[in-house]
């Protein structure tokens, strides 16, 4: 069974601060996806990282995939109240018969206080 | 394109009853996955359907079942409901079949909030 551990579980910061969320596993993944979920809604895909060491930027969000493709981080610069939400990482791994399966971390609940 | 739709959005059932949830994927998407989300366990994979066939299954008891129709719409059923089945049930669609890593990027619906009393 592949597990993804996210840390921290909860994060409450002031507007303008920087933060980093971590996603770690002992398993290797084909790719890793990051989602954000707001209350009452389903998760929304932010980014997919595929290559070990890959860095992707989405405005103030920077995503990195570890060299060994076992871990990832999400860094937010100058957080804003609109960044508030549950951040989920999901690892994609081959499950046989031409199919892949996603394993989700439990998420990091971020609150950005104005 | 319209997003993934799920019905109903909210549901209250009694222990021992059964429930059927419905999901309509994004037009053109052929794969539908179901997840259970609870505060304690997070998002847990239930099963995935592709071209009307169950392709993957998570570690849930046989009370949880699903199916997919020829138009890619999917339903999941939970029989003999237990209090612990209270959760947000999310459906997600992907383009499928695998044509690259982005084929498994999940597009989620808003979920069905099931409360079992």
Are the beta carbons of B43 and A98 separated by less than 8 Å?
no
Chain A residues whose C-beta is within 8 A of a chain B C-beta are: 30-31, 33, 35, 40-45, 48, 50, 88, 90, 92, 95, 97-107
From B50, B39, B40, B33, select the one nearest B90 (Cα to Cα).
B33
Convert the pLDDT of each residue in A3-38 to its tens digit: 899 999 999 999 999 999 999 999 999 889 999 999
Question: Measured between alpha carbons, how far is B21 from B66 in angstroms, rounded to an integer?
Answer: 9
Are the beta carbons of A99 and B41 separated by less than 8 Å?
no
Q: From first to last of its 117 residues, what are the pLDDT tens digits of chain B?
A: 689 999 999 999 999 999 999 999 999 888 999 999 998 899 999 999 988 999 889 999 999 999 999 999 999 999 999 999 999 999 999 876 655 555 678 899 999 999 999
Q: Answer whether B48's CB lies under 8 Å from B92's CB.
A: no
């Amino acid at each position: 069974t592949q597990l993804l551990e996210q840390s921290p579980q909860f994060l409450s910061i002031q507007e303008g601060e920087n933060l980093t969320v971590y996603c770690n596993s002992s398993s290797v993944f084909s790719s890793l996806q990051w989602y954000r979920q707001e209350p009452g809604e389903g998760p929304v895909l932010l980014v997919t990282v595929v290559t070990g060491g890959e860095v992707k930027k989405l405005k103030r969000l920077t995503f990195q995939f570890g060299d060994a493709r076992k871990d990832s981080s999400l860094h937010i610069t100058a957080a804003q109240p609109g960044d508030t939400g549950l951040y989920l990482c999901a690892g994609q791994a081959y499950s046989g018969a031409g199919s892949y399966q996603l394993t989700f971390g439990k998420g990091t609940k971020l609150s950005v206080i104005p | 394109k319209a997003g993934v739709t799920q019905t109903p959005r909210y549901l209250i059932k009694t222990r021992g009853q059964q429930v059927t949830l419905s999901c309509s994927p994004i037009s053109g998407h052929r794969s539908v996955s179901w997840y259970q989300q609870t505060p304690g366990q997070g998002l847990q994979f239930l099963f995935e359907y592709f071209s009307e066939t169950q392709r993957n299954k998570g570690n849930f008891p046989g009370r949880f079942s699903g199916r997919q129709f020829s138009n890619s719409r999917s339903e999941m059923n939970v029989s003999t409901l237990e209090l612990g089945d209270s959760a947000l049930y999310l459906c997600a669609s992907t383009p499928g079949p695998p044509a690259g890593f982005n084929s498994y990027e999940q597009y989620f619906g808003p979920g069905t909030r099931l409360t079992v009393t």
